[in-house]
Amino acid sequence: MKEEYYNVIGVMSGTSLDGVDLAHIEFSIINTIWKFKIKETATIPYNKLWIERLKIAVNFSTKALEELNQEYTILLANIINNFIEKNAIVNLDAVCSHGHTILHQPHEGITLQIGNLPDIASLTRQKVVCDFRVKDVQLGGQGAPLVPIGDQLLFSEYDYCMNLGGFSNISFNNDNERIAFDIAPVNTVLNYYANKLGLDYDDKGQIAKEGTINQALLAELNDLDFYRKSFPKSLGFEFVKERVLPIIESYKITIKDKLNTFTEHIAQQTAAALPLKKGSLLITGGGAYNQYLISRINNLLPDLKIIIPAKGILEFKEALIFALLGVLRLKNEINILKSVTGASKNHSSGTIYDF
């Protein structure tokens, strides 16, 4: 019996800007079967200054982005160090960090995740595996989504795995290949309008629930060309800023109605994305707490069993899977699938920094 064990930390910052997720993970691989144990976890929120900087960074000059990258790397290293110290974590094999996406334009060969500078290793005194997207884009891929290899290895009992974060993405098996793609913006838009009401987010979707659908707005959103593209396909904040928000803002309706209409848009695009409207759907990410959104998805997919897992997986699945991607990179095994990203080949992606 062949057995392997890895002690790692997964680190993830999503486009919804709710903070940095950290998860201490123990992996075991016994006869090629992967098992995991989620140990300590934390979400460290950004302060208001960092939230504002990260929101507008898409417009920064090259020099300003370089400065931001350096400062964010220091911030991230401090967060990681505090997490390790607080939980007395020792004998780590690696810290596996996604960083924070600022630019994602794979059709232009561009993707930038800040916080992945070599300094991260010396500042944390840990081996760091990071920058998972760049190689895939160089190989002609979308550089996203990266989670599906984890869905395949760790959550194969579900027919579909969907994350509801800043954007929604889904993965599933199709003819013995893992297929995955981004579906639609989610919290990047919902939180934007909740912020206008002085709230961090729309708790359980209660404000959206009070609104009504604007059918003209819904139709215009559903008509965006992204939804007619075949996979692989992925989204970045540029899509929200340049395409989605201008459409919504052109309608002089209440924020409640905007939230309600966009929630219905998410639900309809989710239903359209699933080739079979039955089976089991695992939903994770902050959007899983949006009860109104879940109810609208459930209403459109009545024959699908929706599973919302316990908090550890619900909130930290992406950190868990970036920990997995890091371990696969350490083993020099495939961690990005060409069937998912559209790259020219399967590959083992990520940069390894030793301190």
pLDDT tens, position by position, 259-317: 999 999 999 999 999 999 999 999 999 999 999 999 999 999 999 999 999 999 999 99
State the residue for tokens 């803002």. Answer: 249
The bridge status of strand 304-307 relative to strand 279-284 is parallel
pLDDT for 241: 94
CATH 3.30.420.40 domain locations along the chain: 3-141+348-353, 148-312
Residue 171 to residues 38, 179, 306: CA-CA distances in angstroms? Answer: 22, 5, 15
pLDDT for 15: 77
The bridge status of strand 33-44 relative to strand 20-30 is antiparallel
For residues 80 and 22, is the Cβ–Cβ distance under 8 A? yes
Q: What is the CATH number of domain 3-141+348-353?
A: 3.30.420.40
Mean pLDDT, to the nearest integer, of 3-22?
93
Mean pLDDT, to the nearest integer, of 305-334?
96
pLDDT for 152: 95
**DSSP 8-class letter at 211:** S
* pLDDT, the chain, mean: 95
pLDDT category at 164 given cuts 50, 70, 90 is very high
Q: What is the pTM of this model?
A: 0.88
pLDDT category at 2 given cuts 50, 70, 90 is confident
Mean pLDDT, to the nearest integer, of 140-153?
92
pLDDT for 98: 97
Q: 3.10.20.310, 2.60.120.10, 3.40.1790.10, 3.30.420.40: which CATH number matches 148-312? A: 3.30.420.40
What percentage of the chain carries pLDDT values higher than 90? 90
Angle between helices 291-300 and 255-273 (to 10 degrees): 40
Q: HEC profile for 223-263? A: CCHHHHCCCCCCCCHHHHHHHHHHHHHCCCCCHHHHHHHHH
Q: Is the pLDDT of residue 3 over 80?
A: yes
Mean pLDDT, to the nearest integer, of 324-334?
98
Q: Is the pLDDT of residue 1 over 80?
A: no
pLDDT for 137: 94
φ/ψ of 323, rounded to 5, equals -65, -40
pLDDT for 87: 98
pLDDT for 104: 87
| CA–CA separation, 229 and 25 (whole Å) | 36
Mean pLDDT, to the nearest integer, of 9-16?
90
pLDDT tens, position by position, 41-78: 999 999 999 999 999 999 999 999 999 999 999 999 99
Mean pLDDT, to the nearest integer, of 118-143?
96
Residue 293 to residues 256, 299, 304, 308: CA-CA distances in angstroms? Answer: 14, 10, 15, 13
pLDDT tens, position by position, 218-268: 999 999 999 999 988 888 888 999 999 999 999 999 999 999 999 999 999
pLDDT tens, position by position, 71-130: 999 999 999 999 999 999 999 999 999 999 998 888 898 999 999 999 999 999 999 999
pLDDT category at 339 given cuts 50, 70, 90 is very high
Please provide the DSSP assignment of 106-170 as one string.
Answer: GGGTEEEEET-STHHHHHHTS-EEE--SHHHHHTTS-----THHHHHHH-TTSSEEEEESSEEEE
For residues 102 and 57, is the Cβ–Cβ distance under 8 A? yes
Mean pLDDT, to the nearest integer, of 327-341?
95
